[in-house]
Amino acid sequence: MAYFQPKIDMRDGSLAGAEALVREIEEDGTLIPPATFIEALENNGRIRELDLYMLEQVLWQLSEWKSQGMPPIRVSVNISRHTLLDPNALASILAIQSYYPDIPTDRISLEITETAGDIEKTTLSSIIDRFREFGIRFELDDFGSHYSNISIFSNINFDTIKLDKSLISELPDNEISQILVKDIVNICRDFGMSCVAEGVENSWQKEALLKAGCIYGQGYYYSRPLSPAKFEEQYLREPQKKHEKGD
């Protein structure tokens, strides 16, 4: 099922959106994290089914929340590059979205990992542009986790860049990470993209990010991924409540 991890506006602790993360639940209630099965699904070609299932789950949940009068939020869904490269992907995504006409297309964005950049840039760029014609938004996940190629920005239209947790974990002690984060935030601003830091685990990282100009954060400092019921209770029923740990 889909779990939701909040994305927070770190300036005031308010909710800025969420990322949907898959969880398998065993009969005894044990949660199985995706690390154990994503790779197998990518290898056996069934990752596309999972990604589309997650998109459907998220749209269903957003529609449910809307009918209960909850405030609208934006949710990102992880899409494997195998799914993105499937020639039927766009049609399948649009078909799923058409079942939920009450949820505007731009409420969903698709997160693709930086390694998807290994695909020929022009191929990736033309696929993404085709999706964008239908209002689908894209986030570049895990930026900074590998040997990052800044040229990916100039070739491909992303709405948001997600700074990888490996960059954040070195904040605030590592001066190089600080400079890198600051530069990436500035590039994002120049290109009209927003920037989200992943893996924010403590207030020092939060402060260093804000100092570098990065406003949005996601991580255990704020919240672990939550079941829809818990997410609703903690973030949607009391949207005015600020979510800041008191450490």
Q: Which residues bind ligand C2E (CB under 6 A)?
A: 5, 21-22, 33-35, 38, 47, 50-51, 54, 78, 80, 141-142, 165, 198-201, 219-220, 225
CB-wise, 219 or 233, nearer to Ca ion?
219
* Partner from ligand C2E, Ca ion, none contacting 176, C-beta within 5 to 8 A by type: none
Stretch near Ca ion under the rule CB under 5 A, chosen from 88-96, 171-179, 193-201, 236-244: 193-201
Q: Which of 77, 138, 141, 161 binds Ca ion (CB under 5 A)?
A: 141
* Partner from Ca ion, ligand C2E, none contacting 51, C-beta within 5 to 8 A by type: ligand C2E
Q: Which of 78, 160, 178, 194 binds Ca ion (CB under 5 A)?
A: 78
Q: Which amino acid is at 56?
A: E
CB of 77 to Ca ion, least distance (A): 9
Q: How many residues does the chain have?
A: 247
CB-wise, 86 or 141, nearer to ligand C2E?
141
- Between CA 76 and CA 161 the distance in angstroms is 12
142 binds Ca ion (CB under 5 A): yes
C-beta separation of 201 from 221 below 8 A: yes
CB-wise, 229 or 240, nearer to ligand C2E?
229
Residues that bind Ca ion (CB under 5 A): 78, 111, 141-142, 198
